[in-house]
Structure 1
Amino acid sequence: MRFPKRLGSLSQEQIVFLITICMFLVFSLTLDNFLATSNILSLLRSVAVLGILGLGMLIVVLGRGIDLSMVANMAISVAWTIQLVRVGMPLGWALTTGLGFSLLMSAITGVLIAYAEIPAIFATLAMGTFIYGFGRAHLITGTDVVYLPAEFGWASAIGQGKLAGIPVPILLAIAMAIIAYLFLRYSKLGWNIFNIGDNQSAARISGIPVRPVIVLKYVLSGGAAYVAGLITATAVQSMNTRIVNSNMIYDVILIVVLGGVSLSGGRGSVRNVIVGTLLIGVLVNGMTIMDIQYTIQNVIKSLILLLAIVADSLINPRDEQTGQQGDI
């Protein structure tokens, strides 16, 4: 049985957007510091990071997959970039090396899923653990937190700079959202991702190179993770690798599902990610100002994630192929 995607005349995306507006108004009226400039900037920066990670996750989920290694990839690749600059490598080369590491790890993940046919949830979970362990043991040994050196120079503006009064992280998030929209909407590769997510067997029969496309979508996810990591590190002047053990990856999944992207693949858009990101950003910011304990915040977000997954299973039932493939 397929449930309707609309409640009355409103879609899931529109309902979530209305809830976000109502929540923002309530917090504005009830929390003293919610509308403070410093708080709004903090909210926007956190939304930018989650949104960029969400865009990477969107591309993966649309192709009927999932990437649990994003946060580990983000933390280790950027921490290593900072470490390389600290030991004297030119900034440009360090940035290229860190990005290359992130893309390589994502490509290996894609190969394991596409060619070794390991279910995505297990392959990405294992790769996330490997990336974190390998990075701590061989790339940034002896420390949890890597601090930005003065030699990081112009790249520090990625997280702290402003252009025409608008924080650079927000501009980067907007730019990446536009690029992702154009890629998914107008490129042949983007349509291939949709087709693979909708029906992988039919996509293969129609001549779509399914395995290479699967690898590529994980590489794109790794690129998004690296950009998000640069924003995070330059905003606070450090990269704390212990973020890998946080619930951040579940926040990324939450904004994707909550916004209306189908976990069974083939259905979703950049707009869904934007809506889900805004809701979680406002919710988390409000709970932080109310001094709600971090563990309680995680419980609330976990319940929302569970409800969102249940709603997704009703709106977008998993077909027999999805159940057999075990991608998620």
Structure 2
Amino acid sequence: MVAKGRLFGPGAFNQERIVLATAIAIFAVASFALPGFFTAENIVTIVRSVSVLGILSLGMAVVIIGRGIDLSMVAIMAMSVAAYLQLLANGMSDGAALALVLAGVIGIGLLNGFLVAYAEVPALFVTLASASFIFGYVRSQVIGADAVPVPRAHWVASLGSVQFLDIPIEVFIFAALALAMFLFLRFTKWGRFVYYAGDNPVAARNAGMPARPMLVLRYVISAMFAFIAGILTAASLHSMNTRVVNSTLLYDIVLVAVIGGIGLSGGKGGVRNVLIGAALTGVLLNAMTIIDIPLIYQNLIKSTILLAAIIFDGLINPRDEQTAQQGDI
């Protein structure tokens, strides 16, 4: 269930610690070998670059810990914010547009959770279908172009320039959400239910736990985290480009969660795993960018690491019969 063991000491040889050591090693080598890597500006750039990815990974993590998967996160992130910005451009008031989009985001999370929990459709197919529907509907019925700009002087545009101690606001939002998720999973009854249901959903239901409502809640949390990540992306770029739905971002989200040590078989992992996975991903991507490795080779390297992490996860967290029957991932 909950990830066991301390960060250092006996039994320290596990995936989480290997990834942490690898991230430290890459950071140390890059600091000596790459000009401009070990500077305050670049460190802030690394942390900022993984903030949105980390927020998305937190939402994915709570779903995976509960023995599921959410392939609709990137579509929700991009299309909900694009729809919000388009409604503003069409003259709708900010409050009405935000309320309408938030209702849609929560509705998508509820629908995903309901189909998985009560209709018992495999999460892989539910979220893949919902991602396709969200993208197709919003792109064809709501927005008229791939990219939707943020209106001038809007609070989203202002959010992108907010800094504390020369650190962008999204870093603090990521930290706050990570803390909130940690407190939820570690110290609340429903947070513990996430681990119990992920470890053995049948036993959780037999014990009287609200396993199905908890499953629905996890997809709503995932959808909300995706929307927050979308707002921060639009604030940073002053627009939302919906082509990100067809990018490798979804694989990066899974990479952060899996490589950090969150078991795909459910019931294992936590916020610390997301932070470690995000650290390695951020350092690696930044180093490859400084070296000027072409994007196609960066994607090849990331996909190879993801495949290795999945294989390693399968070895240390073997899929049981219940997981195979669910077909969640």
Aligned to 1:209: 210
Cα–Cα, structure 1 residues 157 and 45, in superposed 2: closer, same or farther, change >3 Å? Answer: farther
Aligned to 1:121: 124
Aligned residue type for 1:272: N
Residues 197-206 or 77-86, more deviating: 77-86
Aligned to 2:18: 15
**What displacement does 1:17 show?**
1.1
Aligned to 1:149: 151
Aligned to 1:265: 266
2:172 is the counterpart of 1:168:
no
**What displacement does 1:37 show?**
4.8
Provide the secondary structure at the position in 1 that maps to 2:126: helix
Measure the CA separation in 2 of the matches of 1:27 and 1:157.
34
Tell me if the contact between 1:51 and 1:273 (Cα under 8 Å) persists in the aligned partners: yes
2:35 is the counterpart of 1:32:
yes
Residue by residue over 1:35-93, the C-alpha shift from the partner in whole angstroms, topping out at 9 and shown as x without a partner, is 45554333222210011001000110011000000000000001111112222233333
Residues 172-181 or 110-119, more deviating: 110-119
**What displacement does 1:151 show?**
4.3
Measure the CA separation in 2 of the matches of 1:301 and 1:193.
29
2:69 is the counterpart of 1:66:
yes
Residues 113-122 or 169-178, more deviating: 113-122
Provide the secondary structure at the position in 2 that maps to 1:146: strand
Residue by residue over 1:183-219, the C-alpha shift from the partner in whole angstroms, topping out at 9 and shown as x without a partner, is 1111111111111100010011011122211111000
Provide the secondary structure at the position in 2 that maps to 1:73: helix
Tell me if the contact between 1:78 and 1:226 (Cα under 8 Å) persists in the aligned partners: yes
Tell me if the contact between 1:91 and 1:151 (Cα under 8 Å) persists in the aligned partners: no
Tell me the TM-score normalized by structure 1. 0.94
Unaligned runs of 5+ in 2: none
Cα–Cα, structure 1 residues 157 and 42, in superposed 2: closer, same or farther, change >3 Å? Answer: farther
Aligned residue type for 1:148: V
Measure the CA separation in 2 of the matches of 1:201 and 1:74.
32
Residue by residue over 1:153-202, the C-alpha shift from the partner in whole angstroms, topping out at 9 and shown as x without a partner, is x3324333112432100000000000000111111111111111000100
**What displacement does 1:221 show?**
0.2
Residue by residue over 1:210-241, the C-alpha shift from the partner in whole angstroms, topping out at 9 and shown as x without a partner, is 22111110000001001111111110111110
Aligned to 2:189: 188
Aligned to 1:307: 308
Residues 216-225 or 279-288, more deviating: 279-288
Aligned residue type for 1:22: A
Aligned to 1:326: 327
Unaligned runs of 5+ in 1: none
CA RMSD of aligned residues (A): 1.8
Measure the CA separation in 2 of the matches of 1:138 and 1:42.
36
Tell me if the contact between 1:169 and 1:231 (Cα under 8 Å) persists in the aligned partners: yes
**What displacement does 1:314 show?**
0.8
Provide the secondary structure at the position in 1 that maps to 2:230: helix
Provide the secondary structure at the position in 2 that maps to 1:208: coil
Measure the CA separation in 1 of the matches of 2:241 and 2:270.
31
Measure the CA separation in 2 of the matches of 1:33 and 1:16.
24
Tell me if the contact between 2:184 and 2:191 (Cα under 8 Å) persists in the aligned partners: yes
Aligned residue type for 1:315: I
Aligned to 1:48: 51
2:280 is the counterpart of 1:279:
yes
**What displacement does 1:284 show?**
0.9
Aligned to 1:220: 221
Tell me the TM-score normalized by structure 2. 0.94
Measure the CA separation in 2 of the matches of 1:29 and 1:98.
47
Cα–Cα, structure 1 residues 283 and 188, in superposed 2: closer, same or farther, change >3 Å? Answer: same
Residue by residue over 1:246-305, the C-alpha shift from the partner in whole angstroms, topping out at 9 and shown as x without a partner, is 010110001101011000000111000000001001111111121111111111111100
1:97 corresponds to which of 82, 100, 114: 100
Aligned residue type for 2:280: L
Aligned to 1:57: 60
Measure the CA separation in 1 of the matches of 2:44 and 2:103.
30
Provide the secondary structure at the position in 2 that maps to 1:183: helix
Aligned to 1:81: 84
Tell me if the contact between 1:180 and 1:270 (Cα under 8 Å) persists in the aligned partners: yes
